[in-house]
Chain A
């Protein structure tokens, strides 16, 4: 089966600019997650969707980050305005059933200069 697709793979922006990331999960996976992974750290959950509804966004910095999942399939994560500390890899994951594990995309590496 096709994996989780993410784009772009890399992005370099200046601070205060905006950026958007796109994710296409595995077909049929109802649950979609966005994680942030700072260099040397484990992934940190930003937001979780079940179909097109938000289940948990308690760790999403809502003053600058937003995410949506239209029609319960693709999802976009946006940062506006970006700060230097947002430099990280943004990972999208999806799951059908937690007992089968989560499938991650390759991520988008964001550098804010």
Chain B
């Protein structure tokens, strides 16, 4: 099974700057890689999905890149705001056959945007 590393447990940045979070995986490239946001006391909320044949995906101030050679995804939040403060989880869809996908999650990176 996949091992996922989000190599920063916590990241503090100044408001207005770009936050960059890293996700590395160890085994085969997944069909999909997803990013979720989790606020305290809440379940993860889906943000973006990128396929293995896509290099980049954007949604408003969010951008995700996917490099299957490096086995790495980068998650960027541009013009960061205090409201972006949360834990961000990287997750890989592992194909289990018979039409079954499962998500394997990293530990997450806690982002704090300082006003």
Given known contacts A43-B44, A56-B96, A102 and B107 CB-to-CB distance under 8 angstroms: no
Q: Which residues of A are interface residues toward B (Cβ below 8 A)?
A: 4, 31, 33, 35, 40-45, 48, 50, 55-56, 91, 93, 95, 98-107, 109
Determine if B32 and A106 form an interchain contact, defined as CB atoms under 8 angstroms apart. no
Determine if A42 and B89 form an interchain contact, defined as CB atoms under 8 angstroms apart. yes
Using CB atoms, name the residue of chain B closest to A104: B43
Docked pose: A106 CA to B96 CA in angstroms: 26
Given known contacts A40-B107, A42-B105, A98-B93, A48 and B46 CB-to-CB distance under 8 angstroms: no
Given known contacts A56-B96, A99-B49, A106-B42, A43 and B32 CB-to-CB distance under 8 angstroms: no
Docked pose: A102 CA to B48 CA in angstroms: 11
Determine if A102 and B46 form an interchain contact, defined as CB atoms under 8 angstroms apart. yes
Determine if A104 and B104 form an interchain contact, defined as CB atoms under 8 angstroms apart. no
Given A35-B105, A42-B107, A48-B100, 19 further pairs, Cβ under 8 A: A31-B101, A41-B107, A42-B91, A42-B108, A43-B89, A45-B102, A45-B103, A50-B100, A55-B100, A56-B102, A91-B44, A98-B93, A98-B101, A99-B32, A101-B49, A102-B34, A104-B43, A106-B41, A106-B43
Determine if B43 and A107 form an interchain contact, defined as CB atoms under 8 angstroms apart. yes
Task: Give the Cβ gap from B43 to chain A, nearest Cβ, in Å.
Answer: 3
Determine if A56 and B105 form an interchain contact, defined as CB atoms under 8 angstroms apart. no
Using CB atoms, name the residue of chain A closest to B103: A102
Query: Cβ of A42: which chain B residues have Cβ within 8 Å of it?
Result: 4, 89, 91, 105-108
Docked pose: A98 CA to B36 CA in angstroms: 14
B45 interface contact, C-beta 8 A: yes
Query: Cβ of B93: which chain A residues have Cβ within 8 Å of it?
Result: 98
Query: Cβ of A91: which chain B residues have Cβ within 8 Å of it?
Result: 43-44
Task: Give the Cβ gap from B95 to chain A, nearest Cβ, in Å.
Answer: 9
B98 interface contact, C-beta 8 A: yes
Given known contacts A42-B89, A55-B96, A99-B32, A104 and B102 CB-to-CB distance under 8 angstroms: no
Given known contacts A45-B102, A106-B41, A101 and B46 CB-to-CB distance under 8 angstroms: yes
